[in-house]
Chain A
């Protein structure tokens, strides 16, 4: 992604879905992943909201990349992202109030989602508008897919339902006939819908992703620490203090 080799535009779109999945491969956006994967409906809603913000902010930031001075680019990116988050927040409040209630504080917190600022910093600030648009769509789909996979496990095993409350989303298209499958399990494991279940399912899903990646000969996901941190540039000089870099240095010494 950072390397300067010409890649076909379709690759920008597809890389985010599996090969560079933002959640399972780049380990970005962990907070919303854990918090909103309680039910598939929430996961889809969160995924769509974050994708909208990601695509819009990627396009605008990419279009402005030659205008924004590099010293103030992070605040500039934050303003662009925050504006789109506010717009999405208003749209969700107006059209899908049930989702607004379910996502609560995590909806405005899209503004500090590492995926969005990370993509602005790593991709949109350096690439053309078309490539940034496709990158945004691909990363957004990848985020949604990872969320839905986790939410499916947590919802089916944790509350014994699937797609419960989906009618609040499909009502946008004027269809409310389907309200989800209920009573799949007679005794669901409620712990999976609580916080510990979130961490556990995320760990297991990531282990599975590592296993699949290994079969294809790809390195396993590591928390990139500084490399994945959107603020890496502003603290670059002091990166030696980051715990992960420190360890490397200690080993080198």
Chain B
């Protein structure tokens, strides 16, 4: 049950884009069309889960026992960058179909703050205790990724409508997009307390 609570929290109440402001660049840049929004989000889910799976053992087995926690930022970003490159090469060679679908988004994700963010937040949240910690971290990473997908898809829909609206000249483009994002984010504020309410 606790896992389910973590999952729901990551998707709804602590949504990465709409309440933690992580991954705003792809949110504004790639959400114009539904299909690119979905492609980007699936790639983000994939990379988030993979980075968590790789950085968790590095943190728990190497950095923490040797008291090297201060190296977390630098080690994690390097591991993630190398990992994304590696995945790109492997996909290109062995699973071209998947590469066609996700490959174009992978290099963009390396420097996406949502991926480094989820890895660091797992540690901040205290998901660092052996196998349970690993499971909690993975659930949180996948949940954050799904939350990213939900926000992207919802917002792509809003944006497609926004394109055809007549808005004041100075608000056209980014300002109106941001104000629309504020309204979508406002709707997610409604989930506050839902998870606590269900799981007490």
Contact = CB atoms under 8 A, between A and B. Distances in A.
A78 B73 CA distance: 11
Interface stretch (B4-12, B58-66, B115-123, B139-147): B115-123
B73 A111 contact: yes
Contacts of A89: 70, 73
Given A89-B73, A202-B178, A210-B175, A35 B36 contact: no
Given A220-B170, A222-B174, A105 B21 contact: no
A241 B175 contact: no
Contacts of B124: 104-105
Q: Is the interface of A mostly helix, strand, loop or mixed?
A: helix
Contact of B74 (A86, A210, A231): A86
B175 A223 contact: no
B174 A199 contact: no
Nearest to B31: A243
Nearest to A90: B70
A204 B111 CA distance: 27
A206 interface: yes
Interface in B175-200: 175-179, 181-183, 185-186, 188-189
Contacts of B72: 108
A34 B24 contact: yes
B178 A203 contact: yes
B110 A196 contact: no
B178 A200 contact: yes
B113 A109 contact: yes
Interface string B145-180: 000000000000000000000000111111111110
A231 B173 contact: no
B128 to A, nearest CB: 15
Given A195-B185, A199-B178, A207 B170 contact: yes
Interface string B28-62: 11111100100000000000000000000000000
B173 A112 contact: no
B23 A196 contact: no
A206 B169 CA distance: 12
Interface residues on A, range: 35 or more
Interface in A146-191: 191
Nearest to A226: B29
Interface in B68-83: 70-74, 77-78, 81-82
A82 B110 contact: no
A244 interface: yes
Contacts of A35: 20-22
A105 B70 CA distance: 13
A27 B177 CA distance: 13
A30 interface: yes
A27 B174 contact: yes
A32 B21 CA distance: 8
Interface string B117-138: 1001100100000000000000
Given A35-B20, A195-B185, A244 B73 contact: no
A204 B36 CA distance: 27
B29 A244 contact: yes
Nearest to A89: B73
Residue from A35, A82, A222 having most chain B Cβ neighbours under 10 A: A82
Contacts of A198: 21, 182
Contact of A82 (B74, B171, B174, B178): B74
A238 B104 contact: yes
A234 B107 CA distance: 7
B21 A195 contact: yes
Nearest to B171: A207
A197 B181 CA distance: 10
Contact of A196 (B32, B73, B111, B186): B186
The 6 A-B pairs at the shortest CB distance, nearest first, are namely A203-B178, A199-B182, A207-B175, A200-B182, A82-B74, A203-B179
Interface of B: 18-25, 28-33, 36, 70-74, 77-78, 81-82, 103-104, 107-108, 110-113, 116-117, 120-121, 124, 169-179, 181-183, 185-186, 188-189
